[in-house]
Structure 1
Amino acid sequence: MEQLEERIAHLTRTVEDLSDVVARQAGEIATLERRVRLLMERAAEAEAATGGTVPLADQRPPHW
């Protein structure tokens, strides 16, 4: 019986640790999603400002 209680205690601790990791990762993912959305908006604005042409930085050099 004592072994079972010990195993349950270890498993409970592991589940709590994993729950903390998942919660932290969920926050990080939300932050990254916001950043990607902002970057996509900036890229769309930049594309609209250039009239839909390919930005100079994304064009192939003439020797290709």
Structure 2
Amino acid sequence: MDDAARIDRLEMRLTEQDRAIEDLNRTITDQWRLIDRLTRQVAALRERVEEAGERGGDPRAPEPPPPHY
């Protein structure tokens, strides 16, 4: 195998690896944004549950029957 063919093959591999790294980086960045958004949503929901618990007592307690019962 001559040097030119070997260099061409190496350049093609490098190009494919660069593309794969860019795709992986994009995927990781998208997942990080999603995780960050979900973490904020969970924190907001936790806060709402805590506020509801403070206002209404134990959220696991059964609700009283409606007035028409």
TM-score range, shorter chain: 0.7 to 0.9
Q: Give yes or no for the alignment of 1:28 onto 2:34.
A: yes
TM-score scaled to structure 1, two decimals?
A: 0.78
CA distance in 2, matches of 1:44, 1:54: 12
Structure 1 runs (4+) deviating above 3 angstroms are none
Larger relative contact order, structure 1 or 2 (CA cutoff 8 Å, min sep 6): 1
Q: Give yes or no for the alignment of 1:2 onto 2:8.
A: yes
Q: How many residues align?
A: 57
1:2-37 deviation line (CA, Å, top 9, x unaligned): 111100100000000110111111111111011000
> Which residue of structure 2 lines up, in the alignment, with residue 41 of structure 1?
47
Unpaired runs of at least 5, structure 2:
1-6, 64-69
The structure number with the bigger radius of gyration is: 2
Unpaired runs of at least 5, structure 1:
58-64
Aligned to 2:50, the other structure's residue is in SS state: helix
Supply the RMSD in Å over aligned alpha carbons: 1.6
